[in-house]
Amino acid sequence: MEFDYDLFVIGGGSGGVRAGRVAAQEGAKVALAEEDRYGGTCVIRGCVPKKLMVFASEFAHAAEDAQAYGWDIQPGAFDWDVFRGKLYAELDRLENVYRNILGNNGVETFDQRAKVADAHTVELADGTRKTAKHILLAVGGRPTKLDVPGAELAITSNDIFHLDKLPETILIVGGGYIASEFAGILNGLGVKTTQFYRGAQILRGFDDETRNLVASEMIEKGIDLQVNTNVVSLEQDGDKVKVLDTNGTTTTFDKVMFATGRAPNTDGLGLTEVGVEIGRKGEVVVDDYSQTAVPSIYAVGDVTDRVNLTPVAIREGMAFVETVFKGNPTKPDHELIPTAIFTQPEIGTVGLSEEEARAQEPIEVYSTSFKPMQQSFAGRSEKVLMKLVVSQKTRKVLGCHIVAPGAGEMIQLAGIAVKMGATKEDFDRTVAVHPTMSEEIVTMKSPVRTG
């Protein structure tokens, strides 16, 4: 049978753009439909604008620090309008980069919503139908809201970049990395920030010592972090929002942001109708090669709810192209993914937490917490953490956890060693880079805990 395309990609985000481009470079005839902006969540409403806001917020104490180092410099005010204008311009530029990547590689694009009509047919919003030998679902996910009265009054991470003005007060609901990152950002930008989390500690799933340090540093920096607390209801109060919480307290905030989870974008895509299996959270169920229950339909990225990170979506997209267009069946590797959480302070982490490792086998824990030179000289009290979790039996480093300025940059490099299977002794025989914070990662002599 003759198809219009070899590949039709639905979704122009991290995974879809990469898979579409690389397949086209392999000589495939490729089309891609995007209903919103090219670049997807990461570029338009995720990693990129968020990181730029982290940068903006980290200047909060730059003038004081400079003064401490002898500079005659005065702190000034943050101008949201100036920042937002530059942010929008940067996102426009990046969106164009993504469009051009597709165009320059011969991918035909359709600026509209698409859904699956059958195993080889995609239907565009204007009713046009296109056939393809393979269909790739790369439609990502969206933020969800708590099911409480007044939820419509809350904003989500999608809206935070578009505020007309910065609120004076904000409540951020959630304890995951997005909630915790935005608590740090808004606090740094001068917004009086409260964070509710229903559990006992934020950043569930990460190493306990790491999350405890970050939580206490966030409180130290002025965030009103209230754990074991959730929202019961929201109510309009003039131009503010009145919040009743599970402790029975009512507080009024200028804005409330829910960062309480994300859901895969599978609604209305026609998937179950054609036989694609959908999981409990609405995710597309795929095998190790990202193939769905319909052999011609594959899915990558957040819509599959495996590891919801941009580099993972990209890897899955590349593995799909290797498998389907290069005749080289390739499973995306989800083991030992290094990652950063841009809280303030920042976390870099790879491998198992102390708790996960201990449940698996006998371990040694090497950990040190100290005031770094640069901040300490400036009179700041914040602490960093360097931690290795080591297998007693194999001596391999099972986990590396860093809380420090630039921890994301550090863990990318430490991640190579851990991925290679480095032992504690490999770390030990690496000479320290002095004076740095990260030298501690190769100079920790005795375990602080074993067993």
Residues lying near ligand FAD in the complex (CB under 6 A): 10-16, 33-36, 40-42, 46-47, 50, 113-115, 138-140, 157, 178, 265, 269, 301-303, 308-311, 313
Is 12 exposed, middle or buried, given 0-12, 13-18 or 19+ CB atoms closer than 10 A? buried
Q: Based on CB atoms, which residue is closest to ligand FAD, 38 or 366? A: 38
Q: Based on CB atoms, which residue is closest to ligand FAD, 302 or 440? A: 302
Give the active site residue among 134, 162, 401, 434. 434
443 neighbors 432 (Cβ within 8 angstroms): yes
Q: Based on CB atoms, which residue is closest to ligand FAD, 260 or 310? A: 310
319 neighbors 331 (Cβ within 8 angstroms): yes
**Three-state DSSP state, 144:** coil
Is 140 exposed, middle or buried, given 0-12, 13-18 or 19+ CB atoms closer than 10 A? buried
Distance CA(339)–CA(358), nearest Å, equals: 21
Contacting residues for 147 by C-beta, under 8 A, at least 6 apart: none
- Closest contact distance (angstroms) between CB of 441 and ligand FAD is 22
- Closest contact distance (angstroms) between CB of 365 and ligand FAD is 27
- Closest contact distance (angstroms) between CB of 142 and ligand FAD is 8
Per-residue DSSP letters for 214-248?
A: HHHHHHHTT-EEEES--EEEEEEETTEEEEEETTS
**Three-state DSSP state, 54:** helix
Q: Which helix (H) or strand (E) holds 210?
A: helix 208-220
Q: CA-CA distances (angstroms) from residue 33 to 17, 77, 109, 115, 136?
A: 10, 42, 6, 9, 11
**Residue carrying the six token digits 């769905």:** 292
Distance CA(24)–CA(2), nearest Å, equals: 18
- Closest contact distance (angstroms) between CB of 395 and ligand FAD is 30
Q: Based on CB atoms, which residue is closest to ligand FAD, 65 or 305? A: 305
Distance, first Cα to last Cα, the chain? 62
For residue 242, give the amino acid letter: K
Residue 272: count other Cβ atoms within 10 Å of its Cβ. 11
Q: Based on CB atoms, which residue is closest to ligand FAD, 93 or 445? A: 93
- Closest contact distance (angstroms) between CB of 110 and ligand FAD is 8
Report phi then psi at 384, rounded to 5.
Answer: -115, 165
Q: Based on CB atoms, which residue is closest to ligand FAD, 76 or 268? A: 268
Pairing type for strands 30-33 and 5-10 reads: parallel
Residue 361: count other Cβ atoms within 10 Å of its Cβ. 12
- Closest contact distance (angstroms) between CB of 20 and ligand FAD is 11
Contacting residues for 376 by C-beta, under 8 A, at least 6 apart: none
- Closest contact distance (angstroms) between CB of 64 and ligand FAD is 27
Distance CA(310)–CA(301), nearest Å, equals: 8
- Closest contact distance (angstroms) between CB of 451 and ligand FAD is 34
Residue 165: count other Cβ atoms within 10 Å of its Cβ. 9
Catalytic-residue membership of 434: yes
Is 70 exposed, middle or buried, given 0-12, 13-18 or 19+ CB atoms closer than 10 A? exposed
List the catalytic residues. Answer: 434
